Amino acid sequence: MSEMDELKRVLDLEPIEENLFRGISTAEPTRRIFGGQVVAQALTAAYKTIGAGICHSLQSYFIRQGDPSRPVLYQVERSRDGRSFMTRRVIAIQKGEQIFNMACSFQLPEDGYDHQEAMPPAPPPLSVPDDDERWRAAFTNDPEALRRLDRPSPIELRQVDPVALRDPKPLAANQVVWVRARGSLGEGVAVNQVLLAYASDYSLLGTGMRPHGVNWLSGVQTASLDHILWFHRPTDFSKWHLYVMDSPSASGARGFNRGLIYREDGVLVASAAQEGLIRPPRR
């Protein structure tokens, strides 16, 4: 089964009852459910209760660590159905407890004013090394570590100025990453928003670690605490997108990160914000 077939299986929620859906996790053995997966599944559940509206924003909180060996129940509350806007609240449940909740808003398509911030310059995506290639090069002499770390992903990432995987050094609190899905799940606005939501959790939290010369392998305790997305324009997420991120602040063992997501042709399609736990290693 390809990475995209596996993602399609994960995003294909099972209806249990009115406004109640069951989701599963990827087959990879991990300690906790990937945050982007929960966001994407919750958005999928909300879309199953919406007619013609398109999501324009979502705000979510990660409450407890999810167990990938167990299914997740998604309960959708139909907060409001107005003439232009519809609001939903989604609660993710495992073992009888909330692990995540999301509020999201949908709008019927309409015309209005239009402007955007210009996309910054960046090298072409295929001129930048694939993240999988960097992992294999860094751990070529450590096959056991490579076996644990080199897991297939449905999302392709190419970091323009990556932090060194071994012996990282402090870098500026911003980064740009080329990103796309490794295949298409369809041309619909909703499914591409779900793919973008899934991918938006990659790299964002790491932006706040860059000034401190640490990365995921440095013993830093990390976890997404919240995740916010604004969808500006439709896109095909199987094509290349430039994820432009910065981290204006880190304090109290938390890092605040922002992101702009552009199509390769320079059109701004989404914005993201996230605060995450970045607790220094205990000495």
Let me know if residue 120 belongs to a domain: no
Residue 172 lies in a domain: yes
* Domain presence at residue 119: no
Angle at 107 between CA 103 and CA 109, to 5 degrees: 155
Average pLDDT of the residues in 175-193: 95
| Listed residue (163, 243, 248) closest to 197, CA to CA | 243
149 and 31 within one domain: no
Question: Is residue 98 domain-resident?
Answer: yes
Q: Is 274 a catalytic residue?
A: yes
Determine the structural domain holding residue 248 and report its residue range.
129-283
| Choice among 200, 224, 238, 271 that is catalytic | 224
User: Does 201 qualify as catalytic in the annotation?
Assistant: yes
Give pLDDT tens digits for 136-167: 776 777 666 666 665 678 999 999 998 887 88
The structure's pTM equals 0.94
CA distances 280 to 2, 220, 227, Å, are: 36, 5, 21
pLDDT score at 28: 57
Which of 201, 203, 238, 247 is catalytic? The answer is 201
Beta strand pairing call for 221-224 and 20-23: unpaired
Residue 1 has pLDDT above 80, yes or no: no
116 within a domain of the structure (yes/no): no
Please give the pLDDT value at position 164.
84
